[in-house]
Amino acid sequence: MKYTQLGRAGLKVSRLVLGTMNFGPQTDEATSHGIMDAALDAGLNFVDTANVYGWGENKGRTEEIIGSWFAKGGGRRDKTVLATKVFGNMAAHGDAWPNHDRLSAVNIRRAVEASLKRLQTDYIDLYQFHHIDRPTPFEEIWQAIEVLIKQGKILYAGSSNFPGYKIAQANEIAGRHGGMGLISEQCLYNLAERRAEMEVIPAARDYGLGVIPWSPLHGGLLGGVLKKDAEGKRRRDGRSASALENTKVREQVQAYEDLLDKHGLEPGETALAWLLTRPGVTGPIVGPRTQAQLDSALRAVELELSEELLASLDEIFPGPGPSPEAFAW
C-alpha cells in the first residue's frame, strides 16, 4: 500500500480511504469486520465514517460496528487513522430537537462524546464537519474544537462538502486564534464531476488541506455500468440509473468504457487510479460492500495510467480548466 501525508499535518495515511457507509445498512457486522481486517492487512489504515451512518432509526449503527471491531483488540485501533463526522440530527427517531444537530458548541460536545462511546475509543484522529453551518460563527466552532483537542478527545479537524470560500474563512479565523484549522476537505470529486477543481481544490491546496474525494465512481456511473447493464448485473438504484437517461452522459460513459476496453482496464479501478494522479488528492473514499469490491479498489493503487490515456480521459470528461482563467464570468 502507498502512503502519503494528510495535508500539512504530520499524519501518514494510506492512499485509499475505507468508507463505511454501507456497514450496517447493506453489509452485516461480521462481513464488515472481515472487510476491515482485510483492508488493514493490506495496509489500508484510513477509515472514514460519520455519526449519522446507519441512517433512520439505525443512526450510529456504523460507528457501533467499527467500535466492536476495535474491541477485538490485536492493535486494530492503534493501527487505524479514524475519521468521523458531526452535523446531522442524532435525536431519537429523527425528531428535530434543538441543539441535536449542526455545529453549535453544545452539539459538538454532545456528538463527540456519543461517537467515542459507539466507537469504543478514547480519541478520534480526524473530526470532520459534515456540512457548513452558516448561522454558527467559526469562532464558536473553533473554541469547541480546541477544548476537545486539549482534552485529547480529537487530534485534528477537517471539513466535508465545504465551498472554497468557507475553507478560507475557517482557516483564516483559526489562524487568528493560533489554531491549526482544517487539515482536510472531503468533497464530491471524480472524472464525471470535476467542479471541485474550480474553487474547492485550489482553496484546499493553498491552505494545506488534503483532499479526500467521495463518490469516486459517481454512484456507479464510472464502474462499468453499461457493460453490467448488458450482462444483466447492474443494480437498478443509485445515481447511475437516472444519469444514464441523459443522452450526453450515456455517450460519455460509452466512450469511457470503450476506451478502457481497448486498453484492457477495469472502469472502476481506472476511475480510482485517475483520482490518485490529481494534484492535492490524498486518497479517494471507497465503500466496499463485499471483499471482491475491496480487492478491486486495492488493485487501483498500483495501477499506472499513461499520459496518452490521461489525455483521452480528459477529452471524454473535460474539467473546468485552470482557475481562475477558465471561470465563466
| Higher pLDDT among residues 220 and 233, named by residue | 220
pLDDT of residue 197: 96
Q: Are 234 and 265 in contact, with CB atoms under 8 Å apart?
A: no
Q: What letters, b where the CB count within 10 A reaches 16 and e where it falls short, cover 68-90?
A: ebbeeeeebbeebbbbbbbbbeb
C-alpha cell at position 309: 490515456
The answer to whether the beta carbons of residues 200 and 187 sit under 8 Å apart is yes
Per-residue pLDDT at 152 exceeds 70:
yes
State residue 90's pLDDT score. 92
Record the pTM.
Answer: 0.95
**If pLDDT is split at 50, 70 and 90, which confidence band does 153 have?**
very high
Nearest to 294 by CA among 20, 49, 95: 20
Mean pLDDT of 89-104: 84
32 to 22, 26, 78, 146: CA distances (angstroms): 9, 10, 19, 33
Name residues whose C-beta falls within 8 Å of residue 154's C-beta, 6 or more positions apart in sequence: 112, 123, 124, 125, 126, 127, 145, 148
Per-residue pLDDT for 60 more than 90?
yes
Crossing angle (nearest 10°) for helices 105-119 and 61-70: 50
Average pLDDT over residues 13-17: 98
Average pLDDT over residues 3-12: 97
Q: To which residue does cell 486518497 refer?
A: 283
174-190 residue pLDDT tens? 999 999 999 999 999 99
| Mean pLDDT of the 248-267 span | 97
Domains of the chain, residue spans: 3-219+267-309
Q: Mean pLDDT lowest for which of 35-49, 61-75, 241-255?
A: 241-255
- The fold for domain 3-219+267-309 equals TIM Barrel (3.20.20)
Rounded-to-integer distance, Cα 286 and Cα 29, Å: 18
The pLDDT-based confidence of 231 (bands split at 50, 70, 90) is confident
Cell reading at 60: 450510529
Tens-digit pLDDT profile for residues 109-131: 999 999 999 999 999 999 999 99
pLDDT at 243: 83
Q: 282 and 211 in contact (C-beta within 8 Å)?
A: yes
Which of residues 233 and 214 earns the better pLDDT score?
214
Residue 172 scores a pLDDT above 80: yes
Under the banding of pLDDT at 50, 70 and 90, the label for residue 139 is very high
Q: Which tens digits make up the pLDDT trace of 283-307?
A: 999 999 999 999 999 999 999 999 9
The pLDDT mean for the chain works out to 94
| Residue 97 confidence (pLDDT) above 90 | no
- My answer on whether omega of the bond before 322 falls inside 30° of 0, hence cis, is no
β 154-160/124-129 pair status: parallel
Catalytic residue set: 53
Mean of pLDDT values over 138-148: 98
